[in-house]
Amino acid sequence: MATIRASIILNSRDDWRGWYNQIRSLAKARDIWEYIDPDTAAEQLPDIPRRPQIPELGRNEDENRWKMKMQHYTMQKNEYDEVRRGLAAVNELIHGSVSTLLVHHLYDKESIYDILKALKDYLAPSTEQQGQILLARYEKAREAPIQDQALDHWLSNFEAAYQECQGAGLPEVQGQHAVRHFLQAVSRHSWSWAERRFDSLQQDTSIQLPEIIRIYRGYLADTAAMRARSSDAAFATLKGQADQQAPQQASQHQYPQCICGQYHYFHRCWYLMQSKRPPNWIPRPDIQARFDQILAGPSNPIKEAIQQALQYDTPPPSNTEHAMAMIQLGFEA
């Protein structure tokens, strides 16, 4: 039998919900949960199948009758073996996932049911306590720093924390609350995208967090693909060469495409405006080099628009946006 590895180790009460769910999932998959469910009173548990006895052929017994007994025995034996294998698998998972700090709760227990009952009585939090634990985990996921190289990991952690709170019916994540929490969090990384989504919430209040996350993942995939395709063209544009593709791509968005690859005006670009940068944000050196190259180069409409944006800690007046719009249309003043 292959070794079963635990994804969650039971160290404390904080781990109880996830650990208990992995034990229950395995037991249900092996169709033995009814024999070990700690929420069932001991006297109400069904009897675990016993090893059946091989029927013997009596001296005057009809052979066909004996064959029927053998068929019944085979069915009972298969059920017995299946249950025993399932119990062994769950027992292995429990003993391999309880930390040394709690392993004493496994001692002198006659059955898996007794082990789960003892651990549940000791560790399972009340409904209120569980809610506080889940909310703390959710807030921690929201506030965790977001970086390009770990963005997918951050998304997975946030989604898992949300699903746990949703499953517990916590009001703090119901309706638009979780959607707004998510947009506030990802605005540290994708400000212009989050800003557009905030605006769209005014017209569509029915969208739920899983759909928003799906859209955001698609946006990230599209942005990465577009950067890969247009990398050479973008550098050619910085050298003053003609580039017809970038204006066409930018025209498909509400805002012009910035040198950083996102769609927003210069006065909202984190690479330029330090006052806009969220805590723990780290610029990519290759993208920062693009701006440095422009500012160090000869005067042109792009450089002038960047220099004007840098004069303000708050969004610049509308004439800058007009200049950006002209740049978007043809990179000519």
User: Last residue of some domain: 68, 88, 123?
Assistant: 123
Instruction: Quote the pLDDT of residue 330.
Output: 43
Same domain, 111 and 165: no
Same domain, 152 and 191: yes
Same domain, 146 and 194: yes
The answer to whether position 151 is within a domain reads yes
Residue range of the domain that includes 179: 141-219
Instruction: Quote the pLDDT of residue 206.
Output: 85
Same domain, 175 and 274: no
Instruction: Quote the pLDDT of residue 56.
Output: 76
Same domain, 30 and 110: yes
Instruction: Quote the pLDDT of residue 139.
Output: 93
CA 204-208-213 angle, 5° bins: 110
- pLDDT tens-place values along the chain, 333 residues long: 567 788 899 999 888 988 999 999 999 999 999 999 999 999 999 988 888 887 776 666 677 777 888 888 888 889 889 999 999 999 999 999 999 999 999 999 999 999 999 999 999 988 888 899 899 999 999 998 887 668 888 999 999 999 989 988 999 998 889 999 999 888 888 888 888 888 888 788 888 899 999 999 998 888 777 766 655 444 444 444 433 334 444 444 466 778 888 888 888 888 888 888 888 888 888 888 888 888 888 877 678 888 888 887 554 444 444 444 444 434 343
Instruction: Quote the pLDDT of residue 123.
Output: 92
Give the DSSP per-residue string, 71-85: HHHHHHHHHHHHHHH
User: Last residue of some domain: 191, 219, 247?
Assistant: 219
The answer to whether position 302 is within a domain reads yes
Same domain, 150 and 106: no
Note the pLDDT tens digit of each residue in 161-197. Answer: 999 899 889 999 988 899 999 998 888 888 888 888 8
Same domain, 256 and 316: yes
Q: Which of 229, 288, 226, 297 is nearest to 263 (CA)?
A: 226
Same domain, 265 and 299: yes
The CA-to-CA distance between both ends of the chain, in Å, stands at: 73
Look at the pTM and tell me if it is higher than 0.85.
no
Instruction: Quote the pLDDT of residue 26.
Output: 95
Same domain, 210 and 241: no
Residue 41 zone, left/alpha/beta (φ > 0; ψ -120 to 50; rest)? beta
Same domain, 162 and 116: no
Instruction: Quote the pLDDT of residue 238.
Output: 47
What angle separates helix 191-201 from helix 209-238, to the nearest 10 degrees? Answer: 140
The answer to whether position 166 is within a domain reads yes
Domain count, the chain: 3
Query: What's CA 129's distance to the chain center, in Å?
Result: 23
